[in-house]
Amino acid sequence: MNRKATWVAVASILSLGMGNGLSHAKVDTGGKWVGGEGLIQGVIEHDGATGRAGSGGSQTPKPPPVQSKTTPACNGGGGYVAGNICAIGNICSEGQILLDFWTRTGDGPWMKTRTECGPSRTGALPVVTVTDLQRVGLPASPLNIQPNTGEALINVPLILATADETVTRDTTVLGFPVTIRATPTSWTWDLGDGATVGPTSDPGQAYPHQSLTHTYTAPGDHQITLTTTWSGEYTIAGLPYRPIDGTATTASAPVPVHVLHGHNVLVPD
């Protein structure tokens, strides 16, 4: 059988800037604050056997820890999004810089709470790497081939083209909100017959403005593949974009093509 023990909490509570230095508070016999002034007494029932409150409720869960961090608000002297304040130089006292203050609860995301001057020695922002660029899910470039029937004729140029589009991806790095902007910089076509086109910075154009072509010289079946090389840049919580060192690649699914031997045939007008 559990035994209950009671204890008396006695506290002297002083107010901050409130007349005679005494505060008004409340406590009841269940441990809640009731009417009183100056010296406050309260009785709280405690289950001595289980360590739980005598009211029968479960123990209050421990709140998750709150972490804090500071990072420079200005990146290389300009671009602070909340008013371009960095462009006018350091407005802080000597030995201080403009800082962003961040907090997060438990494993939650970092949230910026304020921006103000603080000591110049501060934690560094996380660095986004090419590994992050590769993992955010860059799209494979489309293979636009003309004619798009899956067949081609020997000695007749096959037109090659793809899309040249910048993409953005939102992610987190070390808990910070990050936006990555990726741009294709080159494409390499493998035509399956031992020939390649590229790497080239030209995405190609459709007929009649074609700029990339390939001509098969023998009949056969081939797989055409396309590899795209991407460069990237990133922003953390709205700070100016920074380049990502290195490049990432994506490979498009192969497209089969059946190359035929054509014959000249005379037809009547």
Q: State which of 124-133, 174-183, 224-233 shows the largest mean pLDDT.
A: 224-233
Beta bridge partners of 179: 170, 235
Entry field: residues in the chain: 269
CATH superfamily of 130-260: Immunoglobulins (2.60.40.10)
In degrees and rounded to multiples of 5, residue 135 shows phi and psi of: -90, -10
pLDDT per position as a tens digit, 80-117: 444 555 655 557 776 667 777 888 888 888 888 888 88
Residue 178 pLDDT more than 80? yes
Whole-number pLDDT of residue 85: 59
pLDDT per position as a tens digit, 30-75: 333 333 333 222 222 333 333 444 445 567 788 888 887 777 776 5
Percent of all residues in the chain with a pLDDT value above 70, rounded to a whole number: 67
pLDDT per position as a tens digit, 139-175: 999 999 999 999 999 999 999 999 999 999 999 887 7
Residue 203 pLDDT more than 80? yes
Q: Span 112-129, mean pLDDT? A: 74
The residue assigned the tokens 């409130």 is 18
The pTM score is 0.56
> Domain segments of the chain: what residues?
4-47, 66-119, 130-260
Whole-number pLDDT of residue 200: 97
Contacts of 201 (CB under 8 A, 6+ apart): 185, 186
Q: 264 pLDDT band (50/70/90 cuts)?
A: low
Where are the extended beta strands (E) located within the chain?
Answer: 4-12, 24-25, 36-37, 39-47, 66-72, 96-105, 111-119, 144-146, 151-153, 158-161, 167-173, 176-190, 196-200, 213-214, 220-236, 242-243, 248-251, 255-260
CA distance 182 to 227: 15
